Amino acid sequence: MRLPVPLDRAYRLLNHGPTVLIGSAAGGRRNVMAAAWCMPLDFDPPRVLVVIDSATFTRELMEASGEFSISVPTCAQRELTVAVGGDSGREHDKFEALSIATFAGEQVRAPLIDGCVAWLECRVIPEPHNENRHDLFIGEVVAAQADSRVFSSGRWHFDGADAALRTLHHVAGGTFFATGDVVGNDR
């Protein structure tokens, strides 16, 4: 079940370093791409960093709308993650081509991806120097949700859940690590 995550706990959805899907929409177009370079930047108000290459269609839609979404995919979505990270939505609709189901966010128009385990809705905090020079975007998280099967009370709990629901951590070339084993007990 999808449940809201308090904004001061939203950083925990990304703190373990998952590869994510970036959703975007503007001018009647929408898109999704994979991003491994995405991390929390601040607790409250929550902010995130994401690197979005200047050649991507995602970048064009983000710059036009000032918004984006982050969906955190699972091991079961590995092929989908590689696929949306391997071609551009500029010429075709990846959602139709790959039968990707989405749902609407509460605060932004960028689509959220079904079957993921966490979702953050973000508004770009404009920093033109970082964007132009380093492809680095800062987003303020304005809404967050997570799948209660693996995230509740502000914590991930992959142990005991279906292994297919674990998150993906990109190494290189489409190889990922799965996360989820607890080391230490201060959770």
Residues making contact with ligand FMN (CB under 6 A) = 19, 31, 33-37, 51-53, 56-58, 81-82, 85-90, 170
Choose between 7 and 26: whose C-beta lies nearer to ligand FMN. 26
CB of 11 to ligand FMN, least distance (A): 18
The answer to whether the beta carbons of residues 52 and 127 sit under 8 Å apart is no
Burial environment of residue 49 by CB neighbours within 10 A (0 to 12, 13 to 18, 19 or more): middle
Choose between 101 and 171: whose C-beta lies nearer to ligand FMN. 171
Q: What number of CA atoms fall less than 13 Å from residue 158's CA on the CB side?
A: 18
What is d(CA 59, CA 142) in angstroms, rounded to the nearest whole number?
20
Residue nearest to ligand FMN as judged by C-beta position:
85
Choose between 32 and 143: whose C-beta lies nearer to ligand FMN. 32
CB of 172 to ligand FMN, least distance (A): 9
Q: What number of CA atoms fall less than 13 Å from residue 42's CA on the CB side?
A: 10
Choose between 12 and 170: whose C-beta lies nearer to ligand FMN. 170
